[in-house]
Amino acid sequence: MRMFVALVPPREVLEHLEEFLEPRREAAELRWTAAEQLHVTLAFLADVEERRLDELGERLERAAARRTPLGTRIAGGGAFPHVGRARVVWAGLELDDAGRTEVRRLATGARAAAARSGVEVAGKRFTPHVTVARLGRPAEVSNWVRLLDAYAGPAWTVDRLTLVASHLGEGPRGRPRYEVVEEFALGR
Ligand code: 2AM
């Protein structure tokens, strides 16, 4: 199973970003993320075997319990691999130093939980981000990054980890369908 561990902002936060982007997104070369699919990936698990699921859930629960909730908002923008030839346009998380450390620990904890459950974790570098659009062909996206730099969404509290299954090709227009498998409360 293809899965990922994510921070999923509350609906009103997603809708706020959606309403900001909606009137501006006519550019055809960008594939925009549907509002209900916006998230911050902490750990991408390309191939989770069914038999690993129970242990993965238990370990994620413990990893989440060790961390404390933190306040943030979606704000600012960036691009991967870089603005000049981007494949991904993203919005950032506004975090103070303590929040940044806490989010990093959340990602480290989620990745360690997966690895200890015998699940391989893809990707080494972690930059907290919300992918808002993908590009089929790399392009210059400084206009979009500037636009997102002018954005600051409503404050919300990160209070859980979400384990999501990604069913490729089952969503609308060939997109993946995301299914929330389980949520794990922070600091319980
Ligand atoms: P993203 O956070 O940059 O959007 C579900 O597919 C999520 O997992 C996506 O949001 C995506 O990252 C992330 N993802 C997909 N493929 C990945 C890979 N090969 N390595 C790391 N993360 C990946």
The CATH number of whichever domain residue 123 belongs to comes to: 3.90.1140.10
What's the mean pLDDT in 128-133?
A: 97
Rounded to the nearest angstrom, the distance between the alpha carbon of 41 and the centre of ligand 1 is: 7
Element (H, E) at 76: strand 70-80
Which residue from 1, 2, 7, 41 has its CB within 8 A of the most atoms of ligand 1, so it is best to mutate?
41
Residue 71's φ and ψ, nearest 5 degrees, are -95, 145
Structural domain boundaries, residue 163:
3-73+97-130+157-185
Reported ipTM: 0.91
Confidence label for 124 from pLDDT (cuts 50, 70 and 90): confident
pLDDT digits (tens, 9 = 90+) for 98-109: 999 999 999 999
Structural domain includes residue 91:
no
79-86, long-range: CB < 8 A, 24+ apart: 79/141, 79/144, 79/145, 80/129, 83/140, 83/141, 83/142, 83/145, 84/140, 84/142, 85/138, 85/139, 85/140, 86/135, 86/138, 86/139, 86/140, 86/141
In a domain, residue 136? The reply is no
Q: Report which residue type is found at 178.
A: Y
In this structure, what DSSP letter does residue 122 have? B
d(CA 60, CA 37): 21
In a domain, 146, yes or no: no
According to the model, what pLDDT value does residue 28 have?
67
Query: Residue 113 has which token pair?
Result: 């939980």
Is it the case that residue 66 has pLDDT exceeding 80? yes
The answer as to whether 140 is a domain residue is no
- Return mean pLDDT, the chain: 95
In a domain? residue 148: no
pTM for the whole structure: 0.95
Domains contained in the chain, number? 1
178 lines ligand 1 (CB under 6 A): no
Asked about 39 being catalytic, the answer comes back as yes
Judge whether 86 lies within some domain.
Answer: no
Q: What is the pLDDT of residue 79?
A: 97
Is 172 exposed, middle or buried, given 0-12, 13-18 or 19+ CB atoms closer than 10 A?
exposed
Name the β-bridge partners of 31.
134
